[in-house]
Chains A and B, each alone.
Chain A
Amino acid sequence: MTMTTDMSADSYVTADGRTIGGVVMDLKNITLRFGGVVAIKDISFDIREGEIRAIIGPNGAGKSSMLNVISGFYKPQEGEVWFRGSKRPPMRPYQVARQGLARTFQNIALFDGMSVLDNIMTGRLNHMKANIFQQAIWKGKAEREEIANREICEKVIDFLEIQHIRKTPVGRLPYGLKKRVELARALAAQPSLLLLDEPMAGMNVEEKEDMSRFILDMNDEFGTTIALIEHDMGVVMDLSDRVVVMDYGKKIGDGTPDEVRNNQDVIDAYLGVAHD
């Protein structure tokens, strides 16, 4: 693999003129096993401040497992996860969330019976400090907190253009909108690193376009660092600054979309060659 961008430097400038900062998350020699099955085999890569980082690969390549390792849901048997310059001890997902990570899920994981607004408010949970008694009394701290958090949620709603379904129960929404609500919930947490697991799966072209615009705008407006898994190659190549390619739990490519596109291993993995 050849890299045109100097990975050792603290920052680099993308093709469209954004400056990408230093390393936010560094994954070193991660290996993840489920019993005898090796899902991820000795993979290292990093995610930098302000970039859109894609993880791609054929089915069963270990992409979602990788995301689950980053979000703290799976604990790798070997390897280290470095977040903002310090090694992350084994953590529970909620502790990871408090560190400023948010994610969406491949299979939508929203509260069906709750309204869109309430679902998005749950994204603010980690930022609420009022205890149960203060909540019961309501006046004072709990109310102030609710208003402040609601304001942030409303900004997200405005940003993702879902005002018209604010009060609609999530269960009644079509798939494309549910995906958007899930993104809204993740965004409401104001994460410094946002993980998107197949944000465009099952969407039509128009919905994909909308979603791509939101992802780019999010990165642009809030400077959110984004790591995403996606199957649609066109989308990945257009959106992301750097791409990691996985196949059978191994990393087979890493670099800018152009580099990855011309990488022989990647072409083989996608077009298929005879495996031993």
Chain B
Amino acid sequence: MSQELVAQGEFASVPALLARNVKEYGDRPAYREKEFGIWQSWTWAEAAKEIENLALGMLALGIDRGDYVAIIGRNRPAHYWAMVAAQKVGAVPVPLYQDAVVEEMEFVLDHCGARFVICGDQEQVDKVIEVQEKVKHIEHVIYYDKRGLRKYDHSHLHWYKEIQDEGAAARSRLEGELAAREAELHYDSTCVMLYTSGTTGRPKGVVLSNRNIVESSKNTAEFDNLGVNEDILAYLPMAWVGDFIFSVGQAMWCGFCVNCPESPETMMTDLREIGPTYYFAPPRVFETQLTNVMIRMEDSGDLKYALFHHFMEFAKHGAGEKFGMPRRKITTQKRTFEQKIRHGFRYAMGIGFAAETIIENTIRLGFAKLRHGKKAREHFKARDPLGLKLYSGKAHEYFKYRCGDVLVYGPLKDTLGFGRIRVGYTAGEAIGPEIFEFYRSMGINLKQLYGQTEATVFITLQPDGEVRNDTVGVPAPGVEIRLEENGEIFYRSPGTFVEYYNNPESTADTKDPEGWVATGDAGFFDKENGHLRIIDRAKDVGKMADGRLFAPKYVENKLKFYPDILEAVVFGNDRDMCTAFINIDLTAVGNWAERNNVAYASYQELAGHPQVLASIQEHVEAVNKSVAEDEMLSGCQVHRFLVLHKELDADDGEMTRTRKVRRKIVEERYAPLIEALYSGKSEQFIETEVTYEDGRKGSIKATLDIRDAAVVGNEQGMAAE
């Protein structure tokens, strides 16, 4: 879709895009939902009909221009339709988090002044009825799932389908009104209002205009070459801006199909059945899936186990990036004869080598079993087939990857539901390098983005082929980025939000008159490739004594990616070097101790074990090396560290209940240790008071070793040794 059409305002709103989709892709699937064990689907034309009926029904109930319509429920086509229907009648949809408790819901419903609430089921209706006692402006509640609601007072409670039927019946009377209201929508009218999750204080209602949504969707769809053939799985909370952009904005712009899972529990099965081509998940999801794969591989047969590790090891070192990435564009053109031959040959080779691999390795495993019996797994390593030796260099790698694709990567991707992914995104927090590498080496185009609700998601994106684990990519199309003195990131873009609803002070605090928005995050541009790198929240970033940047979280995250390290606290603000406290992970280190016959009686003893300290030292030094690669952050290398004798704990006030370290309190409680870190001592005695889970208090005494870690570069810190 060209820029001019947008400028003319032809597609200036979501309903306008819907009308276009009906015209151009009328009989293509627009929504699918699994219900009663079958994927039910609606074409664009059918969906438009449903939306229109609902809009007419809401008109018949007396909805006004500018009314707010709250929508509470899980991802279902009907709820997406409700959002578009609200826009059609000139109202503003406000999706809410369905798992919000009554008090949270009460604040939001009161704040936005919603007259209409659309609920998914009885659970949500119950909450709204409770809220209604205090919030008097809620007039009509519409529910979709009838179950359990038969006996409720229906004077202001309506069934979704009945509203649609009433709308259809009143069509002749209200059609003109609906068309008039739809025609009034323009580029700067409000498209949607989304509440921030409110981790810091009250939730704020972020008002996004049609311009924000349409421009952002258009720009990023072009950036990633998204087209009408995509399939996405809508499973993220509807109240989150990301879901609105993926499942409404981009879906409407591109005309692709939105698939809704049967229930939150069946998400993984549904993911596998749909096989989305465009996918978003927070790092946590990828992490859990990786853990599951690893656990299941441990339980698998010896041959599978060996082959899996053999091919994953190979794919990690660049081969996956080189040979595995999906093609950028899905071509709808028919293949030429030559292409067909080449394609067929490629697969035949893959299958041939795969067969060879299996045969050879089965025979070898047989011998290994004869020799080692049940311990064969430890001694047996899979090997490439002999046939591969005929090729050398790039051809060898290529065929090996194809062979691995047939045996390992392909089946694994299919099992995970990632078989068709062309574009996958993750965001929200730092993703561990091994996790990221695992997925990418299998040929899943997983990328990172950086964004927030106020920016209509996108601030930066990683372009295909320039993906790295530690950056968040280049500014998204149309986004300008400015860095402040202290590293804080400001942006300005077509997606920049209009305002916080009924909250001019906060709006003024966040967005200046020129349209620059403060993110509160600090970062810098990588010199090599111009990618943005996020280091920390701006308020946590400090300066060292010699004026270099001090970003504790950045180093702590790097340390925490090691499974042995549970928690790390880095000090160095206003000091001449950085030091660190480290907590070992009892599960991971305990497991290691068991395997290596290291006896220990307590956490304290394990934490002070010389072998443990040595391996932690290796980790710290490796982190130092990687930190040193960034000129700006090279000052943050950890010169000295110690391993704490107890876990940092929320009961002792050292952490928040959500497991975030309270730096201040840790500093106070362990002041002698910090002093020792900076005074060059090699051990220090400490006595700390601890609170047990039942509230009793006790104390722990320990003498801790303090170790020096090697740092990279011409550092005055070396003097400490």
Contact = CB atoms under 8 A, between A and B. Distances in A.
B37 A166 contact: yes
Contacts, number: 37
A164 B36 contact: no
Nearest to B265: A164
Contacts of B266: 163-164
B300 interface: no
A163 B148 CA distance: 19
A151 interface: yes
20 contacts: A17-B151, A150-B37, A154-B36, A154-B37, A155-B36, A157-B37, A158-B36, A161-B263, A163-B262, A163-B265, A164-B262, A164-B265, A164-B269, A166-B37, A167-B269, A216-B148, A217-B147, A217-B148, A221-B147, A221-B148
Contacts of A117: 37
Contact of B35 (A158, A167, A221): A158
B151 A163 contact: no
A103 B230 CA distance: 47
B190 to A, nearest CB: 36
A163 B263 contact: yes
Interface residues of B, number: 13
Given A163-B265, A164-B263, A220 B37 contact: no
Given A157-B37, A167-B269, A221-B148, 13 more contacts: A16-B151, A117-B37, A150-B37, A154-B38, A157-B36, A161-B263, A163-B266, A164-B262, A164-B263, A164-B269, A213-B148, A217-B147, A220-B150
Contacts of A217: 147-148
A175 interface: no
A159 interface: yes
Interface string B248-290: 0000000000000011011001000000000000000000000
B36 A221 contact: no
Contacts of A216: 148
Given A164-B263, A220-B148, A221-B150, A151 B269 contact: no
Nearest to A150: B37
7 closest cross-chain pairs (CB), A and B: A164-B265, A154-B36, A164-B266, A154-B37, A163-B262, A163-B263, A163-B266
A166 B265 CA distance: 11
A165 B35 CA distance: 14
Interface in B104-150: 147-148, 150
Nearest to B150: A220
A126 to B, nearest CB: 22
Chain A contact residues (Cβ within 8 angstroms of B): what range? 20 to 34
Interface of A: 16-17, 117, 150-151, 154-155, 157-159, 161, 163-164, 166-167, 213, 216-217, 220-221
Nearest to A17: B151
Contacts of B37: 117, 150, 154, 157, 163, 166
A159 B265 CA distance: 15
Contacts of A221: 147-148, 150
A150 B262 CA distance: 17
A166 B263 CA distance: 12
Contacts of A158: 35-36
Interface in B222-264: 262-263
Most buried by A among B37, B150, B151: B37
Contact of B36 (A16, A151, A220): A151
Contacts of B148: 213, 216-217, 220-221
Contacts of B263: 161, 163-164
Contacts of B35: 158
A110 to B, nearest CB: 19
Contacts of A154: 36-38
A220 B151 contact: yes
A147 B265 CA distance: 25
A216 B147 CA distance: 11
Most buried by A among B35, B36, B269: B36
Contacts of A157: 36-37
A217 B151 CA distance: 11
A167 B269 CA distance: 10
A169 to B, nearest CB: 15
Contacts of B36: 151, 154-155, 157-158
B36 to A, nearest CB: 4
A163 B38 CA distance: 11
Contact of A159 (B38, B147, B150, B262): B147
B260 to A, nearest CB: 13
Interface string B605-626: 0000000000000000000000
Contacts of A16: 151
Nearest to A154: B36
Contacts of A213: 148
A167 B37 CA distance: 10
Nearest to B37: A154
Most buried by B among A16, A154, A163, A216: A163
A150 B37 CA distance: 10
Contacts of B269: 164, 167
